[in-house]
Amino acid sequence: MTRLNKFIADSGITSRRKAEELILQGRVTVNKKTITKLAFNIDVENDEVTVDGEKIKPAEHVYYLLNKPKGVVTTTDDEKNRMTVTDLIKSKQKLFPIGRLDYNTTGVLILTNDGDFAQKLIHPKNNIIREYEVKIDKELEAEHELALLKGVFIDGTRGKFIAIKYGKKKDRKNITVQCTEGRNHFVKKMFTTINYTVEKLHRSSFAGIVPDIPIGSYRKLTQDEIKKLSK
């Protein structure tokens, strides 16, 4: 027997958390009966599951690395008909991005149809390290660097960088920051709070995965990379 929300996530249409929302909203049926209990189990071999009337089944899991370009939204569809990150990848499977990058932010983005895998990477307790190359509008002063490392309040909650690094020339307008936060616009809001403007943002690493391909390109993750991320 398999938990219903896990089965839906394994189909690749969404994460397990979102699958729970679908169940609670009454959008899931098992053998033509609407199910709203999160603890419901199914027989994978014999039960028929539908979401919004569409029959689903477990999909083959796939994992892609995209070096996201500017001018693309990190979602599966867009009400303004802008290009999405899923438009850039040719795959027979229905993909979704793990986390978000802003419209004009470039860099590492992982896409998959494996809901459990995605949930593991975005869950705050796992402290996944994200690294960003940041260009700001003026030199970062020492006191502000210290504040960013100690923590500042954004949206009523304290956030902080775990490291701030500079290049060989000690350019304090072009810096690299590391954090474990996945909140929307996190890096930009951190700098805005102390009166700096982010002019350019590039995610140079996510959970140790680096964009070793040109911007706008993608590739499948290797088995070694998948195993590393799964741990």
Give the residue numbers marked as catalytic.
102
Alpha carbon distance 70, 105 (integer Å): 6
CA–CA gap between residue 103 and residue 84 (Å, rounded): 9
Q: Could you tell me the two tokens for 82?
A: 């802008």
In the numeric block, the tokens 């983005």 are attached to 109
User: Is 219 within 8 Å of 65 (Cβ atoms)?
Assistant: yes
Residue with tokens 């609670």: 24
